């Protein structure tokens, strides 16, 4: 893999992982239409490192929240200061950890179908239609009123429903951030909480996916000569991803998040046309 290819794919990953346009869909489209075979077995490690780059970006962006969640959860497990001081209530950070754990449970439902979902990455027309559906979700998000739910008031059912949206978003072309933020807003989340919950719940999901891919990469063999390019791509994905996450938060807060619908519709239509003429 060339340095320039690694930089390009890192840029695509960093932008599309956080902006509601489907990173898996875009990477698959570039691979299928322009024969960018980055995802062949010998490049599985690159796939892992790209996701690690964007994972680090999330951790840096939400560092204070993650630190609070870790400290308060450890204290809770030790039996000290896990309460908010109100009878029968836990600290918001402890509740948030519990809600995230609940939200990842729906991912286990799709595990038996993971091989079939992987085959969809090679179906460019399907991805095009999935992008159009993502656009419809984003358009709907702009018509939703901001709710009042946050770490203190969101429910287990909220976490399950948003988790189901994340599970569906494993389908290439369906945006993870777009679907989970939209469903969170539909469940009555405050805008900033919808964004925070969406990306904090992505951390265990990305870790799990990266671990499974890493196991495959080790089994397939690693081309060590490509590792410098891989690491550069990871760095690009992380840096670009951090600023993309900042941009997304501002857009959601300003209620302009839904404008990405037009991009998804356009990308879906263009991809569909190109899939007809490019073989």
Looking at the domain assignment, is residue 140 inside a domain? yes
Q: Which residues of the chain have pLDDT under 70?
A: 35-43, 80-89, 279
Looking at the domain assignment, is residue 97 inside a domain? yes
Looking at the domain assignment, is residue 22 inside a domain? yes
DSSP string, 139-201: HHHTTSPP--B-TTT--HHHHHHHHHHHHHTTSTTS-HHHHHHHHHHHTTB-HHHHHHHHHHT
Domain that holds residue 35: 3-79+89-277
Looking at the domain assignment, is residue 106 inside a domain? yes
| pLDDT value for 23 | 85
**Residue 35 burial (10 A CB sphere; 0-12, 13-18, 19+):** exposed
Looking at the domain assignment, is residue 42 inside a domain? yes
Looking at the domain assignment, is residue 184 inside a domain? yes
Q: Give me the number of domains the chain comprises.
A: 1
pTM: 0.88
| pLDDT value for 100 | 96
* C-alpha closest to that of 163 among 238, 110, 214: 110
Looking at the domain assignment, is residue 26 inside a domain? yes
| pLDDT value for 133 | 95
| pLDDT value for 80 | 64
Looking at the domain assignment, is residue 84 inside a domain? no
User: Residues 97-138: pLDDT tens digits?
Assistant: 999 999 999 999 988 888 888 889 889 999 999 999 999 999
Owner of token pair 């939400």? 62
């Amino acid at each position: 893999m060339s340095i320039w290819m690694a930089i390009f794919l890192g840029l695509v990953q960093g932008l599309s992982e956080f902006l509601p346009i489907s990173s898996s869909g875009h990477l698959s489209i570039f691979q299928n239409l322009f024969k960018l075979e980055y995802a062949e077995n010998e490049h599985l490690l690159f796939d892992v490192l790209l996701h690690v780059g964007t994972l680090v970006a999330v951790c840096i962006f939400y560092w204070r929240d993650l630190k609070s969640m870790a400290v308060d959860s450890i204290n809770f497990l030790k039996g000290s200061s896990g309460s908010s001081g109100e009878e029968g209530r836990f600290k918001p950070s402890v509740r948030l950890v519990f809600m995230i754990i609940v939200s990842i449970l729906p991912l286990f439902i799709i595990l038996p179908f993971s091989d079939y979902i992987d085959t969809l990455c090679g179906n460019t027309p399907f991805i095009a239609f999935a992008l159009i559906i993502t656009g419809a979700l984003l358009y709907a998000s702009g018509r939703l009123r901001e709710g009042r739910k946050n770490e203190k008031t969101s429910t287990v059912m909220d976490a399950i429903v948003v988790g189901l949206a994340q599970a569906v978003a494993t389908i290439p072309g369906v945006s993870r951030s777009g679907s989970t933020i939209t469903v969170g807003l539909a469940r009555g989340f405050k805008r900033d909480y919808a964004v925070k919950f969406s990306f904090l719940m992505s951390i265990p999901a990305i870790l799990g996916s990266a671990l499974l891919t890493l196991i495959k990469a080790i089994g397939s063999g690693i081309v060590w000569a490509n590792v410098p390019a891989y690491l550069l791509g990871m760095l690009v994905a992380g840096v670009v991803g951090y600023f993309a996450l900042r941009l997304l938060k501002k857009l959601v807060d300003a209620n302009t998040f839904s404008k990405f619908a037009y991009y998804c519709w356009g990308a879906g239509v263009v991809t569909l046309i190109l899939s007809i003429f490019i073989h």
